[in-house]
A and B are shown apart, each in its own frame.
Chain A
Amino acid sequence: MSEAQLKDLEEIFEQRIANDEKIEPKDWMPEKYRKTHIRQISQHAHSEIVGMLPEGNWITRAPSLRRKVALLAKVQDEAGHGLYLYSACETLGISRDELYDQLHSGKAKYSSIFNYPTITWADMGAIGWLVDGAAIINQVPLCNTSYGPYARAMIRVCKEESFHQRQGFEIMMSLCNGTEVQKQMAQDALNRWWWPSLMMLGPVDAESVHTEQSMKWKLKRKTNDELRQQFIDQTVPQADILGITVPDPDLKWNEETGHYDFGEIDWDEFWQVVKGHGPCNKERMNARVGAWEEGTWVRDAAMAYAEKQQNKKENQAKAV
């Protein structure tokens, strides 16, 4: 293909997206579009899978049967969401195994928030309330993104996700309506999860490298800073209802802007965790790699069995 032809195709392609047309797997697409989508969708899928670990940490210790089944169902949903997203990603011509390799080798990233430890039961509440809250803000606009399989996966994810945040908030409510010890537990969880949750919405706009292109392809509808502001504005009143304090002395309502002003985020911490030096990066990766490697013989057995059965069927057919 000549350069001029390529440019033509690209123009038509961009025009289709601008017209709100969806792109489907077999359609022609610029290499950069494919790569960007593989990166973003897989990163999203990895986040779901790694995200199972900090919450999975409390399944066996959930304090009541009701909480236990809700948490199990939630972690199971995350496996499901990872699966929907891996499938969407695979339509771009990359296999699940290659994607896992990228995760296990550290080449692919996942949401940094899951590199923080879950040390009390209240963390289950805080994750549902804050982390899922921030995730939903990120995800809802993606239901309308330009790549068809991703948009369809996100519609399913968002539909199922709505119980997750409520589940978390309800845990927080029970704690805040409980004993002094429980209230302290809730406050402590908010203290530890607040800032990482704000970081989850991505670096400040000035430092965000992909924003412009992502906006064009509808991978993004709002900038990181806009999303962060939206998250803070909707979450602070919820903390008030719970009766716990957001750990930011600079946080205050600004009549003029109609938004909350907030303090400086510690971006050094953010980059440290992104670069692999958070409190649990190594544990999370070891857990994933371990599960995958220990599962090899199981997956191999299933394939071997399937082939044997297939051969049996074919031989029977021949015999008849």
Chain B
Amino acid sequence: MKTNLYNYILELADNCLIGGQRLGELCGHGPSLETDIACTNISLDLFGQTRSYFQYAADIKGGDATEDSIAFLRYEREYKNVLLVEQPNRDFAYTIARQYLFDVFHLLLLEKLQFSQDMTLSAIAKKSIKEVSYHVRFSGDWVKRLGDGTEESHEKMQAAIDGLWTYTNELFEVTEEAKALAEQGIGVDVSKLKETYYQNVTSLLQEATLTVPESKYFQKGGKAGIHTEHMGYLLADMQYMQRAYPNMNW
């Protein structure tokens, strides 16, 4: 089995899976019907991407692996998503901030991944770019609305950015697998996206009248499977059926 490639796909896909799961929690509980519909759309895009990645990963793994066994039957330490996407929906500002800080990275990543030597990854990236371009626009617009809206919304948006900033640096950490695959023209060296990322984010935050956090202390661990305390609950929820009723078709 191509272990590197398999692990790399999980690294890409788990962000979509866990991010989609977080957004899915909100369905029916958002601030307006219109935003509910929009957030659900983004969640559906992310799950769609997840499925494409996992179907590919299942092919590589072989045996009786399926998209669902990969999605639902791993232990927490085996999920490779960044810490950012697993952060809970504390309020709408947190949801938007998490989304925006991830979306900007996600788009930069896909814009490189579309040139991957791996045809499947390249195809998934090409299709996803269109979806994620919209995500960036949606979340970016909302960062501006909340940042430059009322005093209350400004405070909440700033608090969310401050709270999540510590998880941004991990996005650019290069794992062993990613490094090896980047050298073969299959993966993306995410460390090279860092500068553009912070430039883009800084300029939008400024437009939104928000202060860019200065903290240089960052959290990491997600890519190595060491998650925040929130992750266990998310997985308990997500895996509930597969764990309680093993080996059944649904």
Binding site for B on A (CB under 8 A): 49, 52-53, 56, 59-69, 72-73, 75-76, 79-80, 82-83, 86, 121, 171, 174-175, 177-179, 181-182, 287, 290-292, 294-306, 308
Asked if residues B28 and A298 are in contact (CB atoms below 8 Å), the reply is no
Asked if residues B71 and A63 are in contact (CB atoms below 8 Å), the reply is no
CA distance A110 to B33 in the complex (A): 17
Asked if residues B28 and A287 are in contact (CB atoms below 8 Å), the reply is yes
Q: Given the interface contacts A60-B24, A297-B156, does A304 sit within 8 Å of B150 by beta carbon?
A: yes
Interface membership of B145, Cβ < 8 A: yes
Interface membership of B237, Cβ < 8 A: yes
B233 to chain A, nearest CB (A): 10
Asked if residues A52 and B149 are in contact (CB atoms below 8 Å), the reply is no
- Residues of B contacting A304 in the complex (Cβ-Cβ under 8 angstroms): 149-150, 153
Asked if residues A297 and B27 are in contact (CB atoms below 8 Å), the reply is no
Asked if residues A59 and B27 are in contact (CB atoms below 8 Å), the reply is yes
Ranked 7 nearest A-B pairs via Cβ: A295-B31, A301-B149, A301-B153, A63-B241, A298-B31, A52-B28, A56-B28
Interface membership of B167, Cβ < 8 A: no
Asked if residues B36 and A174 are in contact (CB atoms below 8 Å), the reply is no
Asked if residues A75 and B28 are in contact (CB atoms below 8 Å), the reply is yes
B130 to chain A, nearest CB (A): 18
Asked if residues A297 and B237 are in contact (CB atoms below 8 Å), the reply is no
Asked if residues B145 and A301 are in contact (CB atoms below 8 Å), the reply is yes
Categorize the interface residue count of chain B.
Answer: 35 or more
Interface membership of B215, Cβ < 8 A: no
- Residues of B contacting A72 in the complex (Cβ-Cβ under 8 angstroms): 24, 27, 40, 43-44, 47
CA distance A305 to B146 in the complex (A): 8
Q: Interface-forming stretch among B48-56, B131-139, B185-193, B217-225? A: B48-56
Asked if residues A79 and B36 are in contact (CB atoms below 8 Å), the reply is yes
A79 to chain B, nearest CB (A): 5
- Residues of B contacting A291 in the complex (Cβ-Cβ under 8 angstroms): 28-31
A209 to chain B, nearest CB (A): 30
- 13 example contacts (A-B, Cβ-Cβ < 8 A) are as follows A52-B28, A60-B21, A64-B250, A65-B51, A75-B40, A76-B27, A79-B27, A79-B36, A79-B37, A83-B37, A297-B152, A298-B153, A305-B144
Interface membership of B76, Cβ < 8 A: no
